[in-house]
Structure 1
Amino acid sequence: MFFVDTLEFEGLGNRSYLAGGPDAAVVVDPPRDVDQVIAAAARRGVRIAHVAETHVHNDYISGGLELARTTGARYLVPAGASVSFERTPVSDGDAIAVDEGLVLRAMATPGHTPHHTSYVLEEDGRSVAAFTGGSLLIGSVGRPDLVEPRLTERLARAQHASAHRLADSLDDEVRVLPTHGFGSFCSSSQAEGDATTIGAERKNNEALTTDVDTFVARLLAGLDDVPAYYAHMGPANTAGPAPVDLTPPRPADAEEIASRLAAGEWVVDLRNRVAFAEGHVAGSFNVEGEGKLATYLAWLIPWGKPVTLLASTPEQIAMAQRELTRVGIDRPAAAATGEPHAWIREGERAASFPRARFADLAEVRGRGEHVVVLDVRRDSERAAGYVEGSQHIPVHALHGRLGEVAPGVVWVHCAGGMRAAIAASLLDAAGREVVAVDDAFTAAGEAGLPVTGPVDTD
């Protein structure tokens, strides 16, 4: 009897899989930190015989090469992927024996990348699961614009054809197990639900319910900004990522924190946004450790800039360090734990800023006070409606465009509060007077603020 274990990585919105039989298993699209994969195999009591990549990843650094080296497994990589290390090239139709009666069959499914390959797990000749990587997702497909702009439309058409190939080749009950689509920006849209089958996708996936021209037009129109750090992920995966070092960073005291800030390095406070607003090291930035830390920090920080982490506990530092290695931020320069007063030099004071709701903003505007309303959501979110008179700079672009923010007290908002807190910390560090709106955007209209939208983008 076969098994499939799912390893979820909520911070990146991805999944990896351990699948096999009583004795041996294959790992599909492993994370950079492979220790947890090895532990999952140990719990099952199986040997990792194969490590399979569906494609050269653009959104995270793979642990596939290290996992294969550590376990002695065969490293299966699509033959069309140009890589700089030894691997077992896999072509369409190749069959790999995983365990007795259990076979992994490669199926070329280009679209997310030109070489993208899905793997169909067969038990005694019957297809039972399809590891679809960035091809067929839950209600969606992987985005086709991460390789080369001139290839985007061609890859979008290939996504449509690949989705149909999967649907035409597999029975309704076959489980669809994608890598992307659970918050990853590699997905063209986000999954609704966390499980699906070929039959469900036949009914609900636009790639399978619309003609190719309509599908491609809608897919391309819906593409949003690509995280800046993606530019570094593909080359790292092609070259062959180095093993990670998860030993604790060197401890930093208040003097060193101040020195690093003075040198222009990044000091990132991982505490929740409420605690940060109440008191923090002046000049530090807030990216909550529980959330999309790796995505937003890697998107914002100038690549290669040293980063020092601040958190309440060593466990929070360790968790953040693990997340950051997945996107190539391998070693924090230093770290400090405890309370903010211990991170601030004697005689200096903690910085702070207020938090508010949209109802508070409506009240301030109602009194006739002039304030700057800064919307830091993505373009697609803005197109669906915005507060009239607000300025728009997506949070991932804000650090490089702080000089564009209009003068005055800045009330910054996003869709729920997390990105507004990041933006507020950037503005606060730059010396701006800021109020972080910690509220759902739907509350804006309910509070009486004039909201325009949706916007016609045709």
Structure 2
Amino acid sequence: MAMQVSVIATSSLGDRSYLATDGRVAVVVDPQRDIDRIVYLAGEKGVGITHVVETHIHNDYVSGGLQLARLTGAEYLVSAHDEVGFDRMPVSDGDQVTVSDGLRLRVVATPGHTFHHLSYVLDEPGDGGWSPVGVFTGGSLLFGTTGRTDLLGQQHAHTLAHQQHTSAKRLADLLPDGAQVWPTHGFGSFCSASQADASESTIGREKQANPALRLAADQFVIETLAGLDAYPAYYAHMGVANTAGPAPVDLSPVTRADAGQLRERIAAGEWVVDLRHRKAYAASHLAGTIGLGLDGPMSTWLGWLIQWGVPITLLAETPEQVAGAQRELVRIGIDRPAAQATGTPEQWATDLTDLRELTVADFAALAAAHSGNIPDGLPAPRVLLDVRMTNEWNAGHIDGAVHIPLPDLPKRLRDVPAGTVWVHCGSGYRATAAASLLANAGHDVVLIDDMFGRAEQAGVRMAASV
């Protein structure tokens, strides 16, 4: 059987894991913490997992590598230069690991995303010996970009950016143009310096498209560092967990909460998160909750917004949706929600007065309000709040808007002026979370559930570009 590489995508975090097999044995690269997906895939293919490899100590998720290796008896390959609290097979630049007579890994040091980052060249046998099929690049060479270089502290960002450029060039020089590139980050992950829309790539394509391979080192460093925006606060806990050795996950159902208990949790300042779609949330929800639907990157924004360790209760229409949220949360180290409830808002309320709705508008309504023609049923905007990230704001924003990125909002609610707040983001997803935070703080809120790209066409006046 020819070499086969399967992608295990975790779209909610913007990452990919991989299973490479020769038809008999398999190597797993950068597995997420919920390893049952990988075990199922290996079983489906009828292959045994003999090696699990990490390209680096991850900052954006808790790894499942240690548990997968223990479960399968596989060798666990981790950089020899990373100090970790568990047994592993230490590997360094230049090492070769023969997995089988049909599959070999070559270890290549590619510092930049971290100091001890490794890439793994996947070789298969040919007429003249081993030949490269592709390379697992982790957070090094991504599709059209590279992994960000500031996660270990701003004091290291410049040095690591230079190393990232050198590492990308090394891979391009080492491998033929037809070699596949299999990165872990770059599909929405905040570990990526920027985002690209490619679904696959090769070394040859990256030579044409990737700034790390087109720009001189100094210019690459300048542009990379200038483009970095904030990253999730929970990243501070991921590297620590991965270095110590993550515990196995428990995805069994959590305790059910009745309406009275939900009210008590809200009153105690705990986070009660409504996982329904934002349209359902806006129509009716339990006052005091936060709207973060499962249709978006719920775990990223929840992990970024909360104070680490605060009890979290999940509300959803079905038990399956709660289970999906649990799976997403364990990936970032939130192991066990405090409670859960399923059903409808009416079932979660002790009294119908506990229910609340959000007023919803679009950018056409905002344009009309700005021109003095306020649509019926909508309060006039006293404040227009933009909760997108700083890079999004800098790329273009509405004239007169106030900018507070969503991750900053819980600590800056007092900075929001009094009066009716119309709030928007890029699509309506983050704005829903912001609207719920604002409403919980006593603000009158209008949620703009619309795509930001439609604002100017709808007649909203944009600020002059700088």
Whether TM-score is above 0.5 comes out as yes
- The counterpart of 1:389, out of the listed 397, 400, 414, is 400
- Name the amino acid aligned to 2:54: E
Is the contact made by 1:384 and 1:453 (CA closer than 8 Å) also made in structure 2? no
1:220 aligns with 2:225: yes
Query: What is the aligned partner in structure 2 of residue 261 from structure 1?
Result: 266
Q: Deviations over 1:402-427 (max 9, x none)?
A: 11001110000011111111111111
Structure 1 residue 448: Cα displacement: 2.0
Over aligned residues, Cα RMSD in angstroms? 1.0
- Name the amino acid aligned to 1:105: R
Alignment of 1:72-151 (within 5 A): 72-124=73-125, 125-151=130-156
Aligned counterparts of 2:354 and 2:192: Cα–Cα separation in 1? 44
Structure 1's consecutive aligned runs of 4 or more residues displaced over 4 angstroms after TM superposition are: none
Structure 1 residue 346: Cα displacement: 3.2
Q: Deviations over 1:168-202 (max 9, x none)?
A: 00001100000000000000001221100000001
Is the contact made by 1:120 and 1:130 (CA closer than 8 Å) also made in structure 2? yes
Q: Tell me, what secondary structure is at the counterpart of 1:238?
A: helix
Alignment of 1:11-410 (within 5 A): 11-124=12-125, 125-346=130-351, 348-367=353-372, 369-410=380-421
- Name the amino acid aligned to 2:3: F
1:447 aligns with 2:458: yes
Q: Tell me, what secondary structure is at the counterpart of 2:164?
A: helix
CA separation of 1:99 and 1:453: change in aligned 2, threshold 3 A = farther
Is the contact made by 2:400 and 2:463 (CA closer than 8 Å) also made in structure 1? no
Aligned counterparts of 1:448 and 1:47: Cα–Cα separation in 2? 59
Q: Tell me, what secondary structure is at the counterpart of 2:391?
A: helix
Is the contact made by 1:75 and 1:87 (CA closer than 8 Å) also made in structure 2? yes
Is the contact made by 1:104 and 1:122 (CA closer than 8 Å) also made in structure 2? yes
Gaps of 5+ in 2: 374-379
Is the contact made by 2:113 and 2:147 (CA closer than 8 Å) also made in structure 1? yes
Aligned counterparts of 1:73 and 1:191: Cα–Cα separation in 2? 33
Structure 1 residue 349: Cα displacement: 3.8
Query: What is the aligned partner in structure 2 of residue 414 from structure 1?
Result: 425
Is the contact made by 2:285 and 2:357 (CA closer than 8 Å) also made in structure 1? yes
Gaps of 5+ in 1: none
Structure 1 residue 370: Cα displacement: 4.9
Q: Deviations over 1:324-382 (max 9, x none)?
A: 00001110101001111000003534111111101111111211845210000111111
Q: Tell me, what secondary structure is at the counterpart of 1:401?
A: helix
Pick which of 110-119 and 146-155 moved more: 146-155
1:434 aligns with 2:423: no
Is the contact made by 1:20 and 1:99 (CA closer than 8 Å) also made in structure 2? no
- Name the amino acid aligned to 1:291: G
Aligned counterparts of 1:454 and 1:155: Cα–Cα separation in 2? 32
Aligned counterparts of 1:65 and 1:327: Cα–Cα separation in 2? 16
- Name the amino acid aligned to 1:266: W
Q: Tell me, what secondary structure is at the counterpart of 2:456?
A: helix
- Name the amino acid aligned to 1:129: G
Aligned counterparts of 1:237 and 1:221: Cα–Cα separation in 2? 29
Q: Deviations over 1:177-233 (max 9, x none)?
A: 000000000000012211000000011101001100111100000000021000000
Aligned counterparts of 1:213 and 1:349: Cα–Cα separation in 2? 58
Q: Percent sequence identity over matched residues?
A: 54
Aligned counterparts of 1:255 and 1:452: Cα–Cα separation in 2? 47
Is the contact made by 1:358 and 1:437 (CA closer than 8 Å) also made in structure 2? yes
Structure 1 residue 262: Cα displacement: 1.1
TM-score of the two chains, using structure 2 as the length reference: 0.96
- Name the amino acid aligned to 2:415: E
Aligned counterparts of 2:303 and 2:100: Cα–Cα separation in 1? 39
Q: How many residues align?
A: 455
Q: Deviations over 1:383-434 (max 9, x none)?
A: 1111111110000110111110011100000111111111111111112110
CA separation of 1:253 and 1:370: change in aligned 2, threshold 3 A = closer
Structure 1 residue 48: Cα displacement: 0.5
Aligned counterparts of 1:139 and 1:149: Cα–Cα separation in 2? 23
Structure 1 residue 97: Cα displacement: 1.4
Aligned counterparts of 1:453 and 1:47: Cα–Cα separation in 2? 59
- Name the amino acid aligned to 2:288: G
Aligned counterparts of 2:394 and 2:335: Cα–Cα separation in 1? 36
Aligned counterparts of 1:414 and 1:440: Cα–Cα separation in 2? 8
Is the contact made by 1:376 and 1:420 (CA closer than 8 Å) also made in structure 2? yes
Q: Deviations over 1:46-69 (max 9, x none)?
A: 110000000000000000011111
1:6 aligns with 2:17: no
- Name the amino acid aligned to 2:420: V
- Name the amino acid aligned to 2:136: F
Q: Deviations over 1:269-327 (max 9, x none)?
A: 00000000110000000011121011000000110000000000111000010000000
